[in-house]
Amino acid sequence: MSSSIAAPNKKKKYRSQKAAMRTSKIVSYILLVILSAIWIMPILWIVLQSFREEFRASGAYVGTVTTSFFPTHFGVKAYADLFTSDFNGLEYAFPRWIANTLLVSVCCCIISTFLVLSVAYCMSKLRFKLRKAFMNISMIIGLFPGFMSMIAIYFLLKSIGLTQNLFGLILAYSAGAGLGFQVSKGFFDVIPTSLVESAKLDGCTNFKIFWKIILPLSKPIIIYTALMSFTGPWMDFIFAQVILGNANPELWTVSVGLYNMIFGPQADLNLFTRFAAGCVIVAIPIVSLFMFMQKYYVEGVTAGAVKG
């Protein structure tokens, strides 16, 4: 590629290169637009459904059986009905489900964050007998499919009278949280051990090191852990359904309620627009939380990869 040989052709070559680049750029943009449309369409559709204000001749809602992709009449009646109407005789079902979920997720968030951080700190910064054994056991236990022990947890809660009870659900969600310490441990590992050692030389106890040095440096991971355990109960519906039972709609969490609106024995397909409205209301906070903590999420998932 010495310039003296290429000189006569330089201008022409440069121009053709530029053209090729422009073509590839245009192709890329077209591809991106098409792909984005494919990815956005289902989401757009469910949002549109929630604003659909059409009724059958009989006065009933239009359900999933729709006549067009875009609603012919826009309105917020589905939202209004969602908040005011009853579900199979349960008054104000949706606000109640929101309240239930909020209670469960706040409790889970507090308990899980505490457990996860305490275990992660021990595993990362303290050295003691059985440390490696604890880590191996927690990994092995984590490899059993969660649904396997679900029924056993149900029996266990039933034997102490905690099924059909939100407290039982909180226990079931947060009790095992401490075993999921790996992401936070990865974070603590990166905090220099020299900090801990010099604090020790100054006479700090391990508790003080944790409280005064490690925790203030760990805001991102605290936020990440808290948000992850907070959003969990909003997304799970299997565990909640098994523990809370089909017969008690007043105890359901939001996801169980929404699922049962259109599937299962109590489903009413005509409630589809209302279901869509519920989905939008649940999705908005969760999506915004996720967007906010995207960075931490990637760091958490790739933590193993970075080291590997």
Partner 1 sequence: MAEAVAKKEKKPNPVGRFFKNIGLAIKNFFVNLGVGIKDRFVDFGKRFVDGSIGTKMSHFVLGAGNFYHHQWIKGFLYLALEVLFILFMVLCPEVNGTPYGWRSLGPEGIGLKGHDGTATKPGSDPVLMLLFGLVTIIAIIAFILLWLSSIKSSYKADLDVREGRKPTTFKQDLAALFDNKFHVLMLTPTCIAAVAFTILPTIFMISLAFTSYNQVDMNALGTKQFTWVGFENFGAVFTGVGSLGTEIKARFFPVLGWTFIWAVLATFTCYFGGILLALLINKKGIKLKKVWRTIFILTIAIPQFISLLTMRNLLDVNGPLNKILMDMHIINKEINFLGLGSDYKGGEFIPKLMIIIINMWIGIPYTMLMTSGILMNIPADLYEAATVDGASKTKMFFKITLPYVIFVTTPYLISSFIGNINSFNTIFLLTGGGPTITDGLTTYKAGGTDLLVTWLYKLTISEQMYNAGAVIGIFTFLITATITLITYRNSKAYKEEDTFQ
The distance of closest approach from Cβ of residue 12 to partner 1 in the complex, given in angstroms and rounded to an integer, is 18
Nearer to partner 1, 95 or 285 (CB): 285
Nearer to partner 1, 41 or 91 (CB): 41
The distance of closest approach from Cβ of residue 281 to partner 1 in the complex, given in angstroms and rounded to an integer, is 10
The distance of closest approach from Cβ of residue 87 to partner 1 in the complex, given in angstroms and rounded to an integer, is 17
The dihedrals phi and psi of 66, each to the nearest 5 degrees, come to -115, 160
Nearer to partner 1, 7 or 38 (CB): 38
The distance of closest approach from Cβ of residue 214 to partner 1 in the complex, given in angstroms and rounded to an integer, is 12
The distance of closest approach from Cβ of residue 203 to partner 1 in the complex, given in angstroms and rounded to an integer, is 10
Nearer to partner 1, 84 or 288 (CB): 288
Nearer to partner 1, 93 or 171 (CB): 171
Nearer to partner 1, 89 or 307 (CB): 307
The distance of closest approach from Cβ of residue 83 to partner 1 in the complex, given in angstroms and rounded to an integer, is 18
The distance of closest approach from Cβ of residue 36 to partner 1 in the complex, given in angstroms and rounded to an integer, is 5
Nearer to partner 1, 14 or 290 (CB): 290
Separation CA 239–CA 207 (nearest Å): 36
DSSP letters spanning the chain: --HHHHGGGHHHHHHHHHHHHHHHHHHHHHHHHHHHHHHHHHHHHHHHHHTB--B-TTSPBP-S--S-SS-SSB-SHHHHHHHHS-BTTBTTHHHHHHHHHHHHHHHHHHHHHHHHHHHHHHHHH---TTHHHHHHHHHHHHTS-HHHHHHHHHHHHHHTT-SSSHHHHHHHHHGGGGG--HHHHHHHHHS-HHHHHHHHHTT--HHHIIIIIIHHHTHHHHHHHHHHHHHHHHH--HHHHHHH-TT-GGG--HHHHHHHHHSSTT--GGGHHHHHHHHHHHHHHHHHHHHHHHHHHHHHHHHHHHH-
CA angle 239, 233, 240 (to 5 degrees): 25
Nearer to partner 1, 152 or 201 (CB): 152
The distance of closest approach from Cβ of residue 117 to partner 1 in the complex, given in angstroms and rounded to an integer, is 9
Separation CA 204–CA 78 (nearest Å): 59
Which residues have C-beta within 8 Å of that of residue 64, sequence separation ≥ 6?
262, 269, 272
CA angle 210, 214, 216 (to 5 degrees): 115
